[in-house]
């Protein structure tokens, strides 16, 4: 991925637009990461209004978006849902036809849905709008309880910060885990946030129990090579297994088993990038037990083999990481 076009239209949300700028538009060459050719485009060049009352002057029309490797669709105001500019819809369809990446932030999913390219696919948007998206486009499998969804090369995300999660998810596929960690550190955000929207809707502030599971999670990350059962983790948390599992789901938005599986994949990505270890050793280090199990889980989550991943991402930012 070399080129990125971000489409803005009148009434767009500046924060979500800024997420795309932060993820793909900044110069990170001093971190050893190659810059993207990032451009902001619009159907009618000139003044484009935001939902907050100020405007942005955009010089470029949609021509660049027809060639971009990634097309980002900024949030679309409610007045345009179901009536998105046909020129924008053409760009979206063209991106899918040429197998380019397509990413929406928050209500930008309505533009992608309006183009018809989400029919038969999974997608999401802000939790306040998932019901409406499902009603307007019944052919889409709308998931209201996730931060983002990738279906093929189309990524739709929930509101605000979830757009950043989606961007980092895409960057991991294009740049690798360690390079994305470098970017996340620059942003001062977690490189991988687990959980779904329901986690933040039902209880945005954790219960004031005085008990944090962070030490247990940190211990688990240092011991991924072990057989980490719920019973063992609960013992370290000084809780019963049932209480621990319930508290973990509330705090992390997923089960201990699912969280551990994801952390093992992330650790395997780092080792494939930074070491020359064989697959058997990496599998042992990450707790998979065998190279065959590592291959199976790696392919299921990332869509490629460990060997292919290593060939693509081996040590791309070694100097930056060492610094």
The three-state DSSP-derived secondary structure of 120-146 is: CCEECCCCCCHHHHHHHCCCCEECCCC
Closest CA to 1 of 193, 180, 184: 180
Residue (of 106, 84, 85) closest to 155 by Cα position: 106
CB 70 within 8 A of CB 4: yes
Q: In CATH, what number is assigned to the domain containing residue 264? A: 1.10.10.60
User: pLDDT tens digits, residue range 240-283?
Assistant: 999 999 999 888 878 899 899 989 998 999 899 889 999 999 99
Residue 225 included in any domain: yes
Q: Are residues 275 and 170 in the same domain?
A: no
Q: Which of 187, 217, 250 lies at the terminal end of a domain, its last residue?
A: 187
Q: By the 8 A CB rule, do 214 and 222 touch?
A: no
Q: Does 231 map to a domain?
A: yes
Domain hosting residue 19, numbered range: 3-187
Residue 150 belongs to some domain of the structure: yes
Closest CA to 267 of 256, 281, 253, 247: 281
Residues 220 and 157 in one domain: no
Q: How far apart are CA 116 and CA 61, in angstroms?
A: 22
Split into its structural domains, the chain has a count of 2
pLDDT for residue 196 is more than 70: no
At 160 the pLDDT is 80
pLDDT for 320 beyond 60:
no
Inside any domain, residue 194:
no
Measured distance CA(272)–CA(254) in Å, rounded:
26
Confidence at 159, pLDDT banded by 50, 70, 90: confident
Based on the fold, state whether residues 209 and 121 are members of the same structural domain: no
Asked if 158 and 215 sit in the same domain, the reply is no
Q: How far apart are CA 136 and CA 147, in angstroms?
A: 21
């Amino acid at each position: 991925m070399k080129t990125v076009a971000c489409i803005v239209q009148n009434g767009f949300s500046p924060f979500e637009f800024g997420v795309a700028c932060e993820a793909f538009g900044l110069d990170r060459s001093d971190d050893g990461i190659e810059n993207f050719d990032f451009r902001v485009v619009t159907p009618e060049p000139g003044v484009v209004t935001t939902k907050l009352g100020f405007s942005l002057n955009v010089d470029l029309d949609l021509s660049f978006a027809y060639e971009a490797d990634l097309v980002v669709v900024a949030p679309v105001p409610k007045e345009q849902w179901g009536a998105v500019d046909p020129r924008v819809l053409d760009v979206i369809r063209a991106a899918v036809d040429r197998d380019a990446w397509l990413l929406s932030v928050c209500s930008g999913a309505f533009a992608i849905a309006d183009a018809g390219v989400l029919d038969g696919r999974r997608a999401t948007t802000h939790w306040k709008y998932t019901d409406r998206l499902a009603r307007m486009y019944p052919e889409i499998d709308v998931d209201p309880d996730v931060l983002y969804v990738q279906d093929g090369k189309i990524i739709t995300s929930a509101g605000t910060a979830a757009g950043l999660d989606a961007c980092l998810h895409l960057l991991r596929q294009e740049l690798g885990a360690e390079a994305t960690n470098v970017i996340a550190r620059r942003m001062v955000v977690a490189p991988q946030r687990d959980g779904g929207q329901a986690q933040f809707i039902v209880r945005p502030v954790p219960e004031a129990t005085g008990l944090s599971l962070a030490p247990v999670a940190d211990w688990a990350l240092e011991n991924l090579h072990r057989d980490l059962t719920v019973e063992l983790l609960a013992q370290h948390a000084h809780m019963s297994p049932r209480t621990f599992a319930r508290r973990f789901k509330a705090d992390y938005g997923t089960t201990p088993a699912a969280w551990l599986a994801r952390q093992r994949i992330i650790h395997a990505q780092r080792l494939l990038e930074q070491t020359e270890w064989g697959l058997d050793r990496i599998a042992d280090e990450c707790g998979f037990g065998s190279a065959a199990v590592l291959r199976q889980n790696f392919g299921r989550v990332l869509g490629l083999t460990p060997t292919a991943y290593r060939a693509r991402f081996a040590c791309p930012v070694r100097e930056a990481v060492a610094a």
